[in-house]
């Protein structure tokens, strides 16, 4: 039986194209167009942020628990190919509906792995 070499550098990767929210001034003018980034599949820091969020008690949620959502969103978006830094402060102007929609779309992207036969 021959041993077949496995090379991590030749793995087929899946990516999620994402456009950050435009920065808008007080008068509604666009100050900076949202950067386009390419998000990778989750890595350790993303899984840790997901774990923190899963441990949150929704019935007795505190402001610190809301911060967990923003930390998770930042961890997801910071895990991008261009190494564009995205911090929790960068996404603080996203409302909770936007955060929820983004995280839901990201989880659908991650779940594609389960359904992909290759």
Q: Is residue 5 part of a domain?
A: no
Angle among Cα 49, 54, 58 to the nearest 5 degrees reads 125
Q: E strand or H helix at 76, and its extent?
A: helix 63-78
- pLDDT tens-place string over residues 58-95: 555 565 667 888 889 999 999 999 999 998 888 988 99
| pLDDT of 57 higher than 70 | no
- pLDDT tens-place string over residues 17-44: 999 999 889 999 999 999 999 999 988 8
Q: What is the pTM of this model?
A: 0.78
In this predicted structure, what is the pLDDT of residue 33? 93
How many domains in the chain?
1
- The helix/strand/coil state of 7 is coil
Q: Which long-range contacts (CB under 8 A, 24 or more apart) does 21-25 make?
A: 21/93, 21/94, 21/98, 23/93
Range of the domain at 99: 15-115
In this predicted structure, what is the pLDDT of residue 64? 62
Give the CB-side neighbour count of residue 89, counting CA atoms within 13 A.
Answer: 1
Q: Is residue 56 part of a domain?
A: yes
Q: Is residue 2 part of a domain?
A: no
Torsional class of 45: left (φ above 0), alpha (ψ -120 to 50), beta (otherwise): alpha
Q: Is residue 110 part of a domain?
A: yes
Q: Could you tell me the pLDDT band of residue 99, with boundaries at 50, 70 and 90?
A: very high
């Amino acid at each position: 039986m021959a041993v077949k070499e496995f090379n991590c550098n030749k793995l087929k990767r899946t990516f999620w194209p994402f456009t950050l929210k435009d920065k808008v001034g007080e008068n509604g003018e666009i100050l900076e167009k949202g950067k386009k980034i390419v998000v990778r599949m989750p890595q350790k820091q993303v899984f840790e942020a997901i774990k923190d969020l899963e441990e949150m008690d929704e019935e007795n949620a505190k402001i610190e628990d809301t911060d967990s959502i923003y930390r998770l969103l930042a961890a997801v978006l910071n895990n991008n190919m261009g190494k564009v830094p995205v911090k929790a402060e960068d996404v603080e102007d996203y409302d909770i509906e936007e955060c929820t929609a983004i995280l839901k779309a990201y989880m659908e992207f991650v779940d594609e792995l389960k359904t992909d036969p290759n």
